[in-house]
Amino acid sequence: MRPLWLVATLIPGVLSAQAGAGRIAFEQFTLPNGLHVIYSEDHSDPIVTVDVWYEVGSRNERPGHSGFAHLFEHMMFEGSAHVKKSEHDQLIERAGGDFNGSTAEDRTNFYETVPSNRLNLALWLEADRMRSLAITEANFENQRQAVKEERRLRVDNQPYQGAFTDGLTWPFDSSSCFPYAHTVIGSMADLDAAKLADVKAFFDTYYAPNNATLVVVGDFSPAQLRSLVNQYFASVPSHAALEPPRCDTPASATSRRREVHDAHANLDAVIRLYRVPEHRHADTPALEVLNVILGSGESSRLNVAVVRRDKAAVATGALLNPFGSRNGPGIWAAYGIVNQGISAAKLDSLIGLQLDSIRANGIAAEELAKAKNIIRSGMIASRETTFGKAEELHHYRTFHNSLDEINTDLDRFMAVTTDDVKRVATTYLAPNNLTLVIVRAGPGPTSGGGR
């Protein structure tokens, strides 16, 4: 799980994965055990990407069991019935391929990109761990410690990461919306208290063909692919499906405020968090445009006004759903790191002025056109590799009303008007929807890490 605050600070304008501008031809079928398969031929290079998404993430965890989805991102590389510990990695590397996995609130993914003549290897590896993951006490304890160390290295010991990671959960009440009121990486106390039986039950519930989608993109023949998928996956048993978790987010009467101390930070910081709708909501394109205008690149409103003109911050930015799209309520964040001699209150007021300006006066036509160009470029770039195409197919299967929208979604963004942007700013950047996080540099009675 990459440190998104740091990425966003160093590379302003991180865009969430969206549709590409070029058409992606695809076919799909479903095995009797419920495994949904999507494939797209691409013979431009002799490679193929095998990408499995399980419909499980931190939102599926229950109180006292946070961090299980992320734990399984690690556990899935610990071996299975016919694959020894760490052998998955070795087999892919020897084949000249690469692999990885990631966890978000709404999904967990695992992929391999290999030479096309090793498609069978990648499919066999994924099927073997879906069927027979080695969930042993030794593997569990080993990966529990690995996850705790990852939290320490990537979150707790990095400036601003703890406050940002934990802060994304603070707009939600755990009593009414636990799915998004805890972090993806989870609670270390919950992991310490977890039993092997709990972990096995989580795997048996969610890591099954009827809760997974397999996407294959690259240099292969459809007949070959169908034969291999049937050979390796058809006999993997399905599991009983659970109802999706509920998340109720009643409107707040007033804004919220949290203050944390960060011993690893040298400068104070401000994070403004606002709840926004699920990704498939009709307002998402306008929110994406608003996000670009406020926080993407050197010419963004926050950078021009707050960093360059007012010299109140060393960095600013804006992010829509930093860990990926959601089927439940999302988060839009604006942030800034104060410049020397500037108070956090002053920086917050300057960021607020930029948001209020759009709420009151809207945006210029030139800003809208530029934002659309940036979004179009991001869409094109997202389809330049077999892995990028595979992730796009997963994205539209999971977070849109229809997979067919993968080839029409650009039209929604191009149809956004200046009035649309003003409307969503007025609706979602309202004061009563604000959760304000003030990060104080240096040690203090509370910490930016952990929750």
The pLDDT score that the predictor gives to residue 445 is 66
b (16+ CB within 10 A) / e for 103-116: bbbbbbbbbbbbbb
The pLDDT score that the predictor gives to residue 12 is 33
**Grouped pLDDT means (10 residues each) for the chain, 451 residues:** 34 35 90 99 98 98 96 97 97 98 98 99 99 97 94 94 96 95 94 95 97 99 99 97 87 92 98 98 98 96 98 98 94 98 98 98 98 94 96 98 95 98 98 98 64 39
Residue 143 identity (one-letter amino acid): Q
The pLDDT score that the predictor gives to residue 2 is 33
- The tokens describing 375, both together, are 């979004």
C-alpha 176/C-alpha 178 separation (Å) is: 6
b (16+ CB within 10 A) / e for 222-248: eeebeebbeebbeebeebeeeeeeebe
Enumerate domains of the chain plus CATH numbers. Answer: 11-233 (3.30.830.10), 256-441 (3.30.830.10)
User: Which of the 8 DSSP states describes residue 218?
Assistant: E
The pLDDT score that the predictor gives to residue 21 is 52
* pTM of the predicted structure, to 2 decimals: 0.91
The pLDDT score that the predictor gives to residue 35 is 99
* CA distance readout (Å), 65 to 57, 146, 150, 175: 12, 17, 18, 15
C-alpha 210/C-alpha 238 separation (Å) is: 6
